[in-house]
Structure 1
Amino acid sequence: MKGQRAVRGRGGFLNTLSGRFLLLTVGFVMLAEVLIFVPSIARFRVDYLSLRLEKAQIASLALLANDGMITPELETELLANAGVFNVVLRRDEVRQLVLSSPIPTPVAATYDLRSAGSWQMIRDALAGLADPEDRVVRVIGNPVQQAGLLIEITLRSAPLRQAMLDYGQRILGLSALISAVTAGLLFLAVRRLMVLPIRRVVRHMQSYAEAPEDGRRVIAPTAKVAELRAAEDALQTLQTQLTGALRQKERLAQLGSAVAKISHDLRNILTTAQLFADRIETSADPAVARAAPKLVGSISRAVSLCESTLAFGRAEEHPPKLARLALRPLVEDVAAGEGLDGASNPACLIDVAAGLTIRADAEQLYRVLSNLVRNARQAIEATGTPGTIEIAAGEDDTAWWIRVGDTGPGLPAKAREHLFAAFQGGTRKGGSGLGLAIAAELVRGHGGRLDLVRSDAEGTEFMIRLPRAEGLAEET
Structure 2
Amino acid sequence: MLKSLSGRFLMLTIVFVMLAEVMIFVPSIARFREDFLLNRLERAQIASLAVLASSSGIEMDLEDELLKNAGVFNVVLRRDQSRQLALSSSMPASVTKSFDLRDAGPMMLIRDAVARVSNPENELIRVIGQPVNDAGLLIEVTMFSEPLRVAMIDYGLRIFWLSLVISVITAVFLFLAVQRLMVAPIQKVISAMRDYAEAPEDARRIISPESAINEIHEAETALQTMEQQLSTALRQKERLAQLGGAVAKISHDLRNILTTAQLFADRMERSQDPAVAKSAPKIVGAISRAVSLCENTLAFGKAEEPAPRLSHISLAPLVNDVVDSERLAAGEAEISFSEDVPAGMALRADPEQLYRVISNLTRNARQAIEATGKPGEICIQGAEEDLEWLICIRDTGPGLPPKAHEHLFKPFQGSFRKGGTGLGLTISSELIRGHGGRLELAETGAQGTAFTIRIPKGEHVIEAQAK
Verify: 1:185 aligned to 2:173, yes or no.
yes
Separation (CA, whole Å) in 1 of partners of 2:91 and 2:238:
100
Aligned to 1:427: none
Secondary structure class of the residue paired with 1:224:
coil
Aligned to 2:106: 118
Shift, 1:105, TM fit: 1.3
Structure 2 length-normalised TM: 0.54
1:391-410 matches, within 5 Å, as none
Q: Which amino acid aligns with 1:216?
A: R
Distance 1:204 1:68, change over 3 A: farther
Q: Which amino acid aligns with 2:167?
A: S
Secondary structure class of the residue paired with 1:14:
coil
Q: Which amino acid aligns with 1:201?
A: V
Separation (CA, whole Å) in 2 of partners of 1:41 and 1:261:
92
Separation (CA, whole Å) in 2 of partners of 1:68 and 1:89:
18
Shift, 1:205, TM fit: 1.2
Verify: 1:15 aligned to 2:3, yes or no.
yes
Separation (CA, whole Å) in 2 of partners of 1:272 and 1:58:
130
Aligned to 1:51: 39
Aligned to 1:261: 249
Shift, 1:87, TM fit: 0.5
Q: Which amino acid aligns with 1:111?
A: F
Q: Which amino acid aligns with 1:173?
A: W
Verify: 1:157 aligned to 2:145, yes or no.
yes
Separation (CA, whole Å) in 1 of partners of 2:105 and 2:39:
19
Unaligned runs of 5+ residues in structure 1 are: 1-12, 276-305, 314-476
Shift, 1:86, TM fit: 0.5
Verify: 1:217 aligned to 2:202, yes or no.
no
Verify: 1:233 aligned to 2:221, yes or no.
yes
Separation (CA, whole Å) in 2 of partners of 1:167 and 1:265:
97
Shift, 1:31, TM fit: 0.3
Secondary structure class of the residue paired with 2:57:
coil
Runs of 4+, deviation exceeding 4 Å: 267-275
Shift, 1:16, TM fit: 1.0
Shift, 1:50, TM fit: 0.4
User: 1:59-113 deviations in whole A, cap 9, x for unaligned?
Assistant: 0111100026000001000000000011010011111111111111111111110
Structure 1 length-normalised TM: 0.53
Q: Which amino acid aligns with 2:178?
A: V
Separation (CA, whole Å) in 2 of partners of 1:242 and 1:260:
29
Shift, 1:225, TM fit: 1.1
Separation (CA, whole Å) in 2 of partners of 1:212 and 1:228:
22
Unaligned runs of 5+ residues in structure 2 are: 264-293, 302-467
Separation (CA, whole Å) in 1 of partners of 2:67 and 2:5:
60
Aligned to 1:206: 194
Aligned to 2:62: 74
Separation (CA, whole Å) in 2 of partners of 1:68 and 1:78:
17
User: 1:359-416 deviations in whole A, cap 9, x for unaligned?
Assistant: xxxxxxxxxxxxxxxxxxxxxxxxxxxxxxxxxxxxxxxxxxxxxxxxxxxxxxxxxx
Q: Which amino acid aligns with 2:187?
A: R
User: 1:121-145 deviations in whole A, cap 9, x for unaligned?
Assistant: 0110011000111110010100000
Identity of aligned residues (%): 65
Shift, 1:212, TM fit: 1.4
Task: Tell me which moved more, 214-223 or 189-198.
Answer: 214-223
Alignment match of 1:144 (pick from 132, 136, 142): 132
Secondary structure class of the residue paired with 2:139:
strand
Alignment match of 2:85 (pick from 90, 97, 107): 97
Aligned to 2:398: none
User: 1:302-334 deviations in whole A, cap 9, x for unaligned?
Assistant: xxxx9xx9xxx9xxxxxxxxxxxxxxxxxxxxx
> How many residue pairs get matched?
271
Q: Which amino acid aligns with 2:98?
A: T
Secondary structure class of the residue paired with 2:30:
helix
Separation (CA, whole Å) in 2 of partners of 1:186 and 1:80:
51
Secondary structure class of the residue paired with 2:141:
strand
Separation (CA, whole Å) in 1 of partners of 2:91 and 2:259:
128
Verify: 1:63 aligned to 2:51, yes or no.
yes
1:419-458 matches, within 5 Å, as none
Secondary structure class of the residue paired with 1:70:
coil
Q: Which amino acid aligns with 1:93?
A: Q
Shift, 1:274, TM fit: 11
Aligned to 2:235: 247
User: 1:133-176 deviations in whole A, cap 9, x for unaligned?
Assistant: 11100101000000000000110000000000110111000000
Secondary structure class of the residue paired with 2:81:
coil
Using CA pairs under 8 Å that are at least 6 residues apart, name the structure with larger relative contact order, 1 or 2. Answer: 2
Q: Which amino acid aligns with 1:102?
A: S
Separation (CA, whole Å) in 2 of partners of 1:273 and 1:222:
59
Separation (CA, whole Å) in 2 of partners of 1:195 and 1:269:
63
Alignment match of 1:38 (pick from 14, 26, 31): 26
Separation (CA, whole Å) in 1 of partners of 2:54 and 2:249:
128
Q: Which amino acid aligns with 2:19?
A: L
Superposition RMSD in Å: 2.8
